[in-house]
Structure 1
Amino acid sequence: MKVFVSLVYGLSLIGGLLFSIDSLAAVDLQGDYVQGGLLVGKTEPGASVKLDDIQVRVSDQGYFVLGFDRDHAAESRLYLTYPDGRREVRVLKIAQRKYNIQRIDKLPKRKVTPEKMDLERIRKESALVKAARKLNDARTDYLSGWQWPVKGRISGVYGSQRILNGKPRRPHFGVDVAAPVGTLVKAPADGIVTLVHPDMFFSGGTLILDHGQQLSSSFLHLSEILVKEGDRIHQGDPIARVGATGRVTGPHLDWRMNFHRYQIDPQLLVPPMEQKTAH
């Protein structure tokens, strides 16, 4: 459900979405008002933007992004302070979603319940990922638009609750695309590489691409990574190859996205997959 929204001094609420009733917009938003959704905003250069308790980075041209978590509340507050001192608070209505339950059996026991010897490795790898996602500059690489990094059968969807070997685990925060090992992975949007790791405990070969303003993509279970940290990447550039590394039952790409501490649903940003998807 993609809409174009103008937030102004007077607004009306129709079907859970905010629509302008004034042609002089103070801020424009475009995207999905839904759990896991992402909005791209445009406001006056020099304005300050805050989403709930998150201070949002704004580019010199006034562009910014907003994201909503998997279990985001039904309302979010957008705080706007303009260069002339005007202040506004807007209530954003966030559509709630229902998620699938996925059962995955026959995983190696150690990958479901790590042994004590693995915990220190997992902590160190988690710290690397967190550090890679902390970059928060004014770049607006997300304005390049979005494309699928690889094509294939969708084998896992955002938000689904996974039961591994009969034990409930954390929800899945990405979209899985099944493809043969070695299939080329291309950048879904412009960005800068902030992490390259050949073999993490859970995610195997791991690559993180930052799109600006603390919005990033992660690509997991890779067999080969074709770029290095610090590389400037453009949409469509080859960046890696699909693998079956880490905690997997078969070869696929797990594409995830993060906005600050929130997990975003990548599937909302791209056109429908050309091939039949799993339910």
Structure 2
Amino acid sequence: MTRALLSAIVLLLAVSSARAEELTLDGQFTQGGLVFGKTLPGATASLDGEALRVTPDGRFIFGFGRDHAPRATLTVTVPGGAVITRELEVAQRAYDIQRIDGIKKDYVSPPEEVLARIRADAAAAAEARTADRPESDFDSGFIWPATGPISGVYGSQRILNGEPRQPHYGVDVAGPVGTPVMAPANGVVTLAHPDMYFSGATLIIDHGHRLSSSFLHLEEILVQVGQRVKQGEVVALMGKSGRVTGPHLDWRMNWRGERIDPALLVPPMPKSE
């Protein structure tokens, strides 16, 4: 091997190593997945042309919704102007689809007199998720907010009388009324609603960078809007409020307008003793 060729190889390895340090990604590259990125301080980043919030030390997050396309483009511009482009492959998932016919219309569609209430509930929840705090409370990592049998999974959907309904965007954990519900990560409370039509007592905790957790069908909310909470802190009690058939916790997560699968961020559910 000539000295010139050896020098070229060493230079190539050095450039590759430097480039690897400029951008690292960790997370679930799948529909419903959340990805944690790390780049150089002072860098900027965008996903499919939409700017991402980047911390001063170069950390950022992004996620993929339930029906995200098979590909996405991440662009990072590091100090000095160099541009790194990553074409990301997003794994496509198969969801549990149930078809049920012969259901009474009043059960499938809510009565006209409650539509205004439903719209007001949706607006309040959407407003609570617009918080765009620079704090990266998600650095705490995530734990299950409650433990118990999983009775519903992310992405499942029912087709009632031939009409597709909204997919289920969370993970359901069954348990008795009054079971403590813990904050899965650090954050700030942005919604504490005592009684929404569909979701009953509803709590939303913002984890920073427009990543949030929602907790539905609660019996009681123990925190208030603006309160900072720590991972593992009891924030509510499990219930059966709203339109449900039994007591459980419906845990959902949003990153911006994308619905994230919470089960992808936590270890397997501990087995009951």
TM-score for the superposition, normalised by structure 2: 0.88
Deviates more, 1:154-163 or 1:258-267: 154-163
| Alpha-carbon distance change, 227 to 44 in structure 1, aligned in 2, over 3 angstroms | same
> Which residue of the partner structure matches residue 236 of structure 1?
232
- Mapped partners of 1:170, 1:87: distance in 2: 39
Deviates more, 1:210-219 or 1:56-65: 56-65
- Mapped partners of 2:104, 2:136: distance in 1: 41
> Which residue of the partner structure matches residue 70 of structure 2?
74
- Mapped partners of 2:241, 2:99: distance in 1: 19
State the superposition RMSD in angstroms: 2.1
Amino acid at match of 1:101: I
> Which residue of the partner structure matches residue 205 of structure 2?
209
- 2:95 is aligned, of 92, 99, 102, to 99
- How far does the alpha carbon of each residue in 1:158-177 deviate from its partner, in whole angstroms, 9 at most, with x for none? 00112458753111100000
Q: Does residue 134 of structure 2 align to residue 149 of structure 1?
A: no
- 2:120 is aligned, of 104, 121, 124, to 124
1:111 positional shift: 5.7
Deviates more, 1:104-113 or 1:160-169: 104-113
| Structure 2: runs of 5+ lacking an equivalent | 1-11
Given that 1:67 and 1:259 are in contact with CA atoms closer than 8 Å, whether structure 2 keeps it comes out as yes
> Which residue of the partner structure matches residue 184 of structure 2?
188
- Mapped partners of 2:100, 2:244: distance in 1: 10
> Which residue of the partner structure matches residue 167 of structure 2?
171
Q: Does residue 22 of structure 2 align to residue 23 of structure 1?
A: no
- How far does the alpha carbon of each residue in 1:12-33 deviate from its partner, in whole angstroms, 9 at most, with x for none? xxxxxxxxx9322211111111
| Alpha-carbon distance change, 144 to 108 in structure 1, aligned in 2, over 3 angstroms | farther
Amino acid at match of 1:32: Q
- State the secondary structure of the residue aligned to 1:69: coil
The structure that is helix-richer by fraction is 2
- Mapped partners of 2:198, 2:101: distance in 1: 16
- Mapped partners of 1:219, 1:258: distance in 2: 12
1:52 positional shift: 1.0
TM-score for the superposition, normalised by structure 1: 0.87
- How far does the alpha carbon of each residue in 1:118-174 deviate from its partner, in whole angstroms, 9 at most, with x for none? 111111111111111111121111110110000000000000112458753111100
Q: Does residue 185 of structure 2 align to residue 199 of structure 1?
A: no
- Mapped partners of 1:202, 1:107: distance in 2: 18
The structure that is strand-richer by fraction is 1
Amino acid at match of 1:52: D
- Mapped partners of 2:178, 2:65: distance in 1: 32
> Which residue of the partner structure matches residue 42 of structure 2?
46
Amino acid at match of 1:124: A
Given that 1:219 and 1:255 are in contact with CA atoms closer than 8 Å, whether structure 2 keeps it comes out as yes
For residues 52-63 of structure 1, the aligned pairs below 5 Å read: 52-63=48-59
Deviates more, 1:170-179 or 1:55-64: 55-64
1:117 positional shift: 1.2
Given that 1:56 and 1:64 are in contact with CA atoms closer than 8 Å, whether structure 2 keeps it comes out as yes
- State the secondary structure of the residue aligned to 2:146: coil
- Mapped partners of 2:113, 2:129: distance in 1: 26
